[in-house]
Chains A and B, each alone.
Chain A
C-alpha cells in the first residue's frame, strides 16, 4: 500500500484478555516503530525494529508487552493480560532506515479500550 496500515483501527476488549495489533509498513522501509499515545499526551516510544530484530525495546512498559517482525516487514504488537491502563492509541511508524534522515511515516493508529 501507499502508506502505513494499522489494524484493527479500534479494539475493545475485557481486562485480562490477550490482544494483537498489526502494522503493515511502507514497502521497502527497514525501520519500524511502535508508540503509545494517551489522550492529551505525546507519543510514547515502545520499541523499534531494524529489519527483523528489535534494535531498541527499552520503551516496553513490562513483560506483558511483546512485538515481533519475523520477516522484516509486517509487525505485530502483542499485549497479554490486558489492564485498563493499557487503553490508548497505539501508533506504528516506518522509515527508510535508521541513520538516514529519520523521517517517520505514521499510520492512523489502533485505538485500544480495555474495559
Chain B
C-alpha cells in the first residue's frame, strides 16, 4: 500500500498568513490528492496533481509535487478562520486504494 505522511502534525497561524503543509510517500505514484476534513465531518477532496505535473493551482491553494524526492506540499495563501481543519494527502497508484496518514491539523486564528 502507499501511505502519505503529513508534516507538521499541527500548525497554528494568524488569519491572512500563508500555511504550508508537506507530504512524503515511499513509492511511485500516478497522482497525489489532498483532502480537508472539518471536525466531525467527512473528508472533502481539494486538489489532484498528476505524477507528470510539478505545480497546480486552485483558488488560494497551490500544490507542488517533486517525484524525485517523493514529496508534495500544499500551500494555502491568505488563510481564513474557515480554513481551520485537518489536511490529508493521499498518494495514488493503480492499486486502487488510497491510504492516509494522520494529517496536519491547521488552526487559523482570527
Interface residue ranges, A against B (CB under 8 Å): 4, 31, 33, 35, 40-45, 48, 50, 55-56, 58-59, 91, 93, 98-99, 101-109
Give Cα distance in the complex from A102 to B33, angstroms: 9
Does B96 lie within 8 Å of A106, measured CB to CB?
A: no
The 4 closest A-B pairs by CB, nearest first: A106-B42, A42-B100, A102-B92, A98-B96
Interface residue ranges, B against A (CB under 8 Å): 1, 30-31, 33, 35, 41-45, 48, 88, 90, 92, 94-103
> Looking at the complex, which one of A40, A41, A43, A56 makes contact with B96 (CB distance below 8 Å)?
A56
A37 to chain B, nearest CB (A): 9
Give Cα distance in the complex from A52 to B110, angstroms: 47
Residue on B nearest A6 in the bound complex, by CB: B42
Chain A contacts for B103, CB-based, 8 A: 42
Does A48 lie within 8 Å of B97, measured CB to CB?
A: yes
Interface centre among A44, A55, A98, A104 (most CB of B within 10 A): A104
Does A102 lie within 8 Å of B42, measured CB to CB?
A: no
Give Cα distance in the complex from A104 to B31, angstroms: 13
> Looking at the complex, which one of B98, B101, B102 makes contact with A102 (CB distance below 8 Å)?
B98
Does A42 lie within 8 Å of B42, measured CB to CB?
A: no
A56 to chain B, nearest CB (A): 6
Does B42 lie within 8 Å of A107, measured CB to CB?
A: yes
- Given A40-B102, A102-B33, does the pair A108, B96 have CB atoms closer than 8 Å? no
> Looking at the complex, which one of B30, B44, B94, B101 makes contact with A106 (CB distance below 8 Å)?
B44
